[in-house]
Amino acid sequence: MRFFKTGFVFLAWLSGHQDHFRMVWGEQSARSVPHLAKVYRLADGLGLFPDPELAERRMRTVLATAGLD
């Protein structure tokens, strides 16, 4: 049950509700970058981001940090 939280925190950060994507004990790394990319694609496809450009910039940061830009 602990891994579902990663997606919520990730979406909150992408949406601009948080200024960081960090969790207690480094739980943000509980999901792989490909998994987070899928979460982003699905949320974007549903139009869930209040600021799509911010979400895209932040997703690009995640990908670049992982060497996938």
- Residues 44-62: tens digit of each pLDDT: 999 999 999 999 999 999 8
Q: Total domain count for the chain? A: 1
pLDDT-derived band at 1, boundaries 50, 70, 90: low
Global pTM reads 0.83
CA atoms within 13 A on the CB side of 33: 12
pLDDT for 3:
59
Average pLDDT, stretch 34-42? 93
pLDDT for 21:
67
Domain around 45: 4-65
